Amino acid sequence: MLCKWCRSTEANQSNNTVYWELPDGSRAITINETPCIHCEDCGMQYQTDETTEIIENHLLLIDTKLLPDITNYEQLLAQPKILKRYYFDFST
Ligand SMILES: [Zn+2]
């Protein structure tokens, strides 16, 4: 896999811990075991655009107040999306 920082081909899929600011800016949470690319050559660990998008989108759709300060990627994505229900609630 190609490292987007140093162009080395020594980059591998891995996972790491990331600190993510919530969309409303109220706090940051720790997300363990988040899929990342780890480059053996330059030591860089980074999330792909795809993973970043999945996390960002999901945080917009769930009730982030229910999130613990420390979670993991799987638990985060398991949080039920509430946005749709809110729409229904408002319309009834
Ligand atoms: Zn690299």
Cα–ligand 1 centroid distance for 1 (angstroms): 10
Domain boundaries, the chain: 11-78
pTM of the prediction?
A: 0.84
Residues around the ion ligand 1 (C-beta < 5 A): 3, 5-6, 8, 39, 41-42, 44
List pLDDT tens digits, range 5-52: 999 999 999 999 999 999 999 999 999 999 999 999 999 999 999 999
List pLDDT tens digits, range 72-81: 999 999 999 9
To which H or E segment does residue 2 belong?
none
Cα–Cα distance, 39 to 13 (Å, whole number): 9
Pairing of strands 45-46, 70-72: unpaired
